[in-house]
Structure 1
């Protein structure tokens, strides 16, 4: 029951447009800044329920924009695979030249995953669509 309350809190935060950028908290996909340019998503299945997403953005994109981009990719990927949830595991950021990249790992699952900050895939993917953040 406690995990379900966390998912409801995430839904409420997304609906309210609140962002929680502390630590490993899921980042509310905020409206894209006009200067941001999304350069694509590479997806690699590491195991049945473990996926890595490599995203790239032009310029010196802030960490929260990259996290929102990977959350969006993970949410849509979970839905494509028939799962309802994703959970962020880790993200590595890199800046080279005029591009900023994030290499992020997520678990995907049909049931609400244990652990910190699960993503309700349908809710997050819908918010990403509304805000123009690309997904897979």
Structure 2
């Protein structure tokens, strides 16, 4: 006795569509993965609790990747100085010839600062380490 699986017509169309998707990427389309190059951080203390970070990277997808690199540097810097928090003030990002440059300013503090763009330095630094983003 032979058993037959019953697949309705709509199910066959779905299977055919999935098969087409499986081979779509093999037709010469290149699939790239995010592989940034972090080219360094320079820090400059502007005041006792205000720090300027200049970051340089290649392979960023958006300005958000540059922002994240600067946030990682700020979090580690705060921890090195014995502080637990940082607050983002501003970041300017420029891209030229595949090189992304970020110019970010953060305040650092022992207590949670007021504002909406605050960072818990330990949490951010741990996340950066997990993602392989270098810090100060």
Normalising by the residue count of structure 2, what TM-score does the alignment of the two structures yield? 0.73
How many residue pairs were aligned?
Answer: 104
What is the DSSP-based 3-state SS (H/G/I as helix, E as strand, rest coil) of the residue aligned with 1:123? helix
Aligned mates of 1:121, 1:41 — CA distance in 2: 17
Contact 1:61–1:100 under 8 Å retained in 2: no
State the shift of 1:98 in Å.
2.7
The alignment partner of 2:107 has SS state of strand
For the 8 Å contact 2:44–2:51, the answer to whether it is kept is yes
Per mean C-alpha deviation after superposition, the further-off stretch among 58-67 and 43-52 is 58-67
4+ long deviations beyond 6 Å: none
Relative distance call for 1:42 and 1:119 in structure 2 (3 A) is: same
Alpha-carbon distance, 1:62 to partner: 1.3
What per-residue deviation string (whole Å, max 9, x for no partner) do you get for residues 55-84 of structure 1?
Answer: 011145411111110110000000000000
The answer to whether the aligner puts 1:127 opposite 2:127 as a matched pair is yes
TM-score by length of 1: 0.73
In structure 2, stretches of 5+ residues that fail to align are 1-32
| Mapping for residues 7-46 of structure 1, pairs under 5 Å | 34-46=34-46
Q: Which residue of 2 aligns with 1:4?
A: none
Structure whose alpha-carbon radius of gyration is higher: 2
Structure with greater contact order relative to length (CA < 8 Å, sep ≥ 6): 1
Give the equivalent residue in structure 1 for 2:83. Answer: 83
**2:83 alignment partner, SS class:** coil
